[in-house]
Structure 1
Amino acid sequence: MKKKEEERKKQIMKAAFNAVSSLGYDNVTLQDIANHANVSKGVVHYYFTSKQNILLELLESITNKIYSYEIKEIAKYQTAIEKLQAYINAVFVSPQENKKFYRVYLDFLAQANGNEEYKKINLKFYENCWGIGREIIELGKTEGVFSQDIDSLTNAKMIRAIIDGSLIQWLTCDLEEQHKFYKDTCFHSLLKLLK
């Protein structure tokens, strides 16, 4: 029974992600989420008390999933430059996935101003990202490929800022074929910053 409930909850979370991606945070309703999940609104209510409750769990779930994926990809490599490239590759997954994720994520960020829970989840996500950046920078300093003079935390924050800025700019250009350009440029800009 427990496994079936977990599966149903995952189904509803995936439906919520798809609903927010296509309709936008403000427009999505519990009925929309139920429709995307092919269940009744009552089923959605059984697992989540409110739209806010689902979306809070959704934000936490997707940011945790992304962080776990990034860590797993980086762990496959040994050197700082390889790890940095793996990090960029893990973030710039594909035009379709990046478009879907950032549509949802930017909607959440717009809500974060008035929502302490969203702020907390987002800060935790960024702290995780900064941890990845710091680890790569420290390794690069040890290997002698990154400047000894740079502050690891400051530059870890800049790594994520450049990554997100690149993806947001790509998204607003709305040119799918520019995805690789932004990915490559992001990587080379980060190398310049760190060397």
Structure 2
Amino acid sequence: MNEMPTKLKDRADRKTAKRDAKKRQIAESAILALKELGYANTGLRDIAAHSDLSLGMLHYYFEDRAELIIYCVEIYKQEFVRKFVDALETAHGRDQVIDAFTEALVASIVDDNMTHRLWYDIRTQAMFDEAFRPVVANIEEALIGILRTAFDKAGHGAPSNIDIHYALLDGAFRYIMQAQIGAPARTRDELTALFQKLLSQIL
């Protein structure tokens, strides 16, 4: 008796999964355009061109540019957070935490420098456009959670003002990341030494 509703649900689930896969494919292409041009200089036509889609097809999956960009930032930062969670998972004690955290920060700057520009661009836009504020707040809460985990793994628990510690680390990370865009950029060894010293002070 339940066979037909089950079939309908399975069909709906497949359709949703297919739609989600297409949205992610579009977002991954959009991120390439956004990394190159930045938020202010990237319109839906630019994104459509990078995605090999018509503007109408893009609107079919996303209501407007803000919805697409929010989706892009969520995907990017989910991956960013996952890398740090994985890096800290097997670290125990302050020295191991500093080493693991440092390695993840350095790899992120070296490998994802251009994508970080997009994150800081969107975070700045959130001060002017309230559409971006919820996703920025959620991401920053996840980033604070990473630092809280680092404190816990280091063996002395997170301080009550962990948001200030996060702000200090984030400010240093942004400054160092931005400096990599110009010349001469720091080497991986120089970045490693820099973040180890910084994390030794924070943790």
| TM category, shorter | 0.7 to 0.9
Number of residue pairs matched by the alignment: 188
Larger CA Rg, structure 1 vs 2: 2
2:110 and 2:188 in contact (8 A); partners too: no
Q: Which runs of 5+ in 2 are unaligned?
A: 1-14
Q: Which has the higher contact order (CA 8 A, sep 6+)?
A: 2
Cα offsets for 1:45-80 (capped at 9, x unmatched): 110011111012212222222112211221132223
Give the equivalent residue in structure 1 for 2:96.
Answer: 82
Q: Distance in 1 between matches of 2:161 and 2:16?
A: 44
Helix, strand or coil for the counterpart of 2:114?
helix
Give the equivalent residue in structure 2 for 1:190.
Answer: 199
State TM-score, norm by structure 2.
Answer: 0.78
Matches within 5 A, 1:15-164: 15-93=29-107, 97-142=111-156, 153=162, 154-164=164-174
**Aligned residues: CA RMSD:** 2.6
Cα offsets for 1:74-132 (capped at 9, x unmatched): 11322232223222322322555322212212221231211223233222222222222
Helix, strand or coil for the counterpart of 2:91?
coil
**Matched residue type, 1:169:** A
Helix, strand or coil for the counterpart of 1:25?
coil
Distance 1:63-1:112 versus aligned 2 partners, 3 A rule: same
The worse-fitting range, judged by mean Cα deviation, of 154-163 and 102-111 is: 154-163
Q: Distance in 2 between matches of 1:118 and 1:160?
A: 19
Distance 1:32-1:95 versus aligned 2 partners, 3 A rule: same
Q: Percent identity?
A: 19
State TM-score, norm by structure 1.
Answer: 0.81
Q: Which runs of 5+ in 1 are unaligned?
A: none
Cα offsets for 1:128-171 (capped at 9, x unmatched): 222222232234344xxx9x9x7661434433333333223333
